[in-house]
Structure 1
């Protein structure tokens, strides 16, 4: 039972991404941060003091936080190998959760969770944050209104540069398969998959290529080289609902790219292009009624109407209070996403096209 119409949130994992979630929690009157969990005692106390969280609500053990009767809902920002465990505990204690992507370390974990979830479902949201970029939301509406006709092809790229040799990035958990599952594919590719599902629909088959460019990185603790066993690059083609063809590319070795997640949708009557680095703009190429006969449509950049701005955790608050909004990424979306990731890996390893179902 939620007290006083305010949802008391327990935050598990206080690393970099947790700062964004702390900010989002503070922006919504429906949410209050009431408990924290991290294995780093110094970080736990620093943030606990900043947020005014009492010492008895600062936990080193995530199960203790999840079991706490004063915690109404959980937000989890932990490394990938812990994703399934947090979800399992939340199902056991029947606590609503906002979990980060990728859904699990691998699809076997996702299948095991699905068995538990079907018996004891809970409000579960997965952090596919690009559904909350205004330009992405506006593009979704335009597609629903048939603004560019039937979609024939979607091109999705997610490029970052931090892994390139130029920056001499040391070994970290993101380069360790046992902790992260995959490299660029799970980190960035999971968002590409969700964007395609958000705009177009389900995946039917994939044909993939994955590559590791930097095979060894220096351990910051002892200076020794450690083997990198995850991908720096993944590309794949796919067939989606209504035979829409998809082309996907992600890498963390694209010098010059910051956080470049972009989607281009090609329809019978026009094209839509969005880029998360320009969240309030959309590029449209559609023939205007005022255009002269025979005039070819050209790309124009439009400002996204303010009505398409929405804070991600607003949907989580609505989900927790049994007021689920259309388009909220749920347990099912996380499960399907992990299935597609698994088929991409299978395709890359076999060198063959793989059916998703």
Structure 2
């Protein structure tokens, strides 16, 4: 595709997250929202009117949108059980896609897609959005500059509170194993895994613990209690490239936490801490080699580390991609690590990623 051509985008899924993507599309002159798809006719028509998209480009079936001749690329924001199907259709119709995480419902689906993709690859980006937090991007640069010496270990946490019993959150799709696959693990843990891969490298092994704190939730339709079969809490230790050791924790039951994704990286001469809730700050601690005194500095992010996620989607669609864009391979590897975490928790033992 020509580098400067306007890319006509088809948006599949018009739920809450779609608003953020519509805003991001509107900020970039090279993207034009040109087609919509959702099973909810009322919502489909409402958004269609807001965006000035004609009825002939409003679809209930995602394959109809994907194969539409004037749709150049697809952005998909659908529940987890549809992730693999959207990717499969885009591969079969050779349409570039930005897909949501987790990559698929399970690793079996990921393996099927990998076979298909290997034969007929397409430009594919996976929505690991925390790669676009300026602080995370700057932390990667500091690591590359050996600012804290040899990296030894890291801590990664992703904490939310909305699932705590006191809030009496009803049985939503996020608690339905058939739709979501996992709970906090796929929803939040997938981001933790990607942040570690982005900053450090590949996972070698994991040792995990998974728990469901709220075993039943109220069905909003019937008010009866519905059994919950997905996790509220996951913690795991991991060994990554260069024998870097990691401690990871995610939960939806952390009172006081809103959307708290943070990473702490420990090196021989310093520590880097970043938190998505403070996207423009990096906390850097360094020890002086002469007097062994430790300094702490809150660093503001210099220019050049702010990049809108869909700018990289444009790059990958137009053949200008680079290694830091989360692509099909990143989605596949992420799903493999998720699979091994589940396996480790079930077996109660450490599991190698590439067994």
Match of 2:347 in 1: 350
- 2:237–2:247 CA contact under 8 A, matched in 1: yes
- 2:12–2:75 CA contact under 8 A, matched in 1: yes
**Equivalence map 1:249-260=2 (5 Å):** 249-260=249-260
| Rounded Cα–Cα distance in structure 2 between residues aligned with 1:333 and 1:296 | 40
Match of 1:117 in 2: 117
Partner secondary structure for residue 298 of structure 1? strand
Match of 1:214 in 2: 214
TM-score, normalising length from structure 1? 0.97
| Rounded Cα–Cα distance in structure 1 between residues aligned with 2:9 and 2:264 | 36
Match of 1:244 in 2: 244
CA 1:310 to 1:3, structure 2 compared with 1: closer, same or farther past 3 Å?
closer
Q: 1:300: how far off?
A: 1.5
**Deviation digits for residues 247-300 of structure 1 (CA, Å, limit 9, x no counterpart):** 0000001010000000000011110000000000110012469xxx31421322
| Rounded Cα–Cα distance in structure 2 between residues aligned with 1:142 and 1:297 | 18
Unpaired runs of 5+ residues, structure 1, are none
| Rounded Cα–Cα distance in structure 2 between residues aligned with 1:2 and 1:15 | 31
Q: 1:150: how far off?
A: 1.2
Match of 1:266 in 2: 266
| Rounded Cα–Cα distance in structure 2 between residues aligned with 1:287 and 1:278 | 24
**Deviation digits for residues 2-28 of structure 1 (CA, Å, limit 9, x no counterpart):** 697100000000001111111100011
Is 2:321 aligned against 1:313? no
- 2:3–2:318 CA contact under 8 A, matched in 1: no
| Rounded Cα–Cα distance in structure 1 between residues aligned with 2:292 and 2:347 | 47
Please point out which of 338, 342, 353 is paired with 1:341: 338
| Rounded Cα–Cα distance in structure 1 between residues aligned with 2:22 and 2:86 | 19
TM-score, normalising length from structure 2? 0.98
Unpaired runs of 5+ residues, structure 2, are none
| Rounded Cα–Cα distance in structure 2 between residues aligned with 1:247 and 1:234 | 11
| Rounded Cα–Cα distance in structure 2 between residues aligned with 1:137 and 1:147 | 14
Is 2:156 aligned against 1:140? no
CA 1:288 to 1:23, structure 2 compared with 1: closer, same or farther past 3 Å?
farther
| Rounded Cα–Cα distance in structure 1 between residues aligned with 2:288 and 2:20 | 40
Q: 1:151: how far off?
A: 0.7
- 1:218–1:224 CA contact under 8 A, matched in 2: yes
**Equivalence map 1:33-112=2 (5 Å):** 33-112=33-112
| Rounded Cα–Cα distance in structure 2 between residues aligned with 1:334 and 1:38 | 24
Partner secondary structure for residue 35 of structure 2? strand
User: How many residues are treated as equivalent by the alignment?
Assistant: 354
- 1:2–1:72 CA contact under 8 A, matched in 2: no
Partner secondary structure for residue 302 of structure 1? strand
Partner secondary structure for residue 295 of structure 2? coil
Match of 1:322 in 2: 319
Partner secondary structure for residue 299 of structure 1? strand
- 1:159–1:254 CA contact under 8 A, matched in 2: yes
CA 1:17 to 1:295, structure 2 compared with 1: closer, same or farther past 3 Å?
same
Partner secondary structure for residue 32 of structure 2? strand
| Rounded Cα–Cα distance in structure 1 between residues aligned with 2:287 and 2:315 | 38
Partner secondary structure for residue 239 of structure 1? strand
Match of 1:158 in 2: 158
Partner secondary structure for residue 137 of structure 1? helix
Runs of 4 or more consecutive aligned structure 1 residues displaced over 4 Å after TM superposition: 1-4
Q: 1:326: how far off?
A: 3.0
Q: 1:128: how far off?
A: 0.3
